């Protein structure tokens, strides 16, 4: 049987995955609330990102929600002049897993924010290559 899964070949943009020991969080604010939330980033590209939340911490997050990425903090430090808009595209909530995965797609991304994200991904991929 031929493997039909194309994996990263289906992706338009290169992405970087963060290991669980790498502390990288996105500070976001949801369209419906002013309160900031720090969410662990599992991976990121110019196209979007994936958050990991502990089970029970997802609150009322649902597909289609809009949030804005104000900054990336932790072992990375990225501040955006205009916070990129993220649309929640999928939620993977499997009871056997310790974490809930939430996938978001960047929408209406400014050229400056796209450049910042591309630089972040390229720098992290280069750092990983140097370690390998």
CATH number at residue 122: 2.40.10.220
Residue 117 falls inside a structural domain = yes
Residue 4 falls inside a structural domain = no
Residue 65 falls inside a structural domain = yes
Q: Residues 6-30: pLDDT tens digits?
A: 454 566 889 999 988 899 999 999 9
**Burial class of residue 22, CB neighbours in 10 A (0-12, 13-18, 19+):** middle
pLDDT of residue 40: 95
Q: What is the pTM of this model?
A: 0.85
**Residue 91: which domain range?**
14-131
Residue 86 falls inside a structural domain = yes
Q: Residues 46-65: pLDDT tens digits?
A: 999 999 988 776 677 889 99
Residue 57 falls inside a structural domain = yes
Count of the separate structural domains present in the chain: 1
Residue 1 falls inside a structural domain = no
């Amino acid at each position: 049987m031929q493997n039909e899964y194309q994996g990263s070949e289906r992706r338009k943009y290169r992405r970087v995955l963060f290991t669980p020991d790498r502390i990288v969080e996105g500070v976001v604010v949801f369209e419906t609330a002013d309160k900031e939330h720090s969410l662990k980033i599992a991976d990121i590209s110019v196209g979007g990102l994936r958050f990991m939340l502990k089970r029970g911490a997802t609150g009322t997050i649902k597909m289609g929600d809009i949030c804005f990425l104000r900054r990336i903090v932790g072992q990375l430090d990225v501040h955006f002049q205009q916070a990129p808009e993220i649309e929640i595209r999928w939620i993977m909530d499997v009871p056997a897993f310790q974490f809930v995965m939430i996938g978001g797609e960047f929408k209406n991304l400014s050229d400056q924010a796209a450049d910042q994200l591309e630089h972040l991904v390229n720098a992290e991929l280069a750092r990983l290559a140097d370690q390998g």
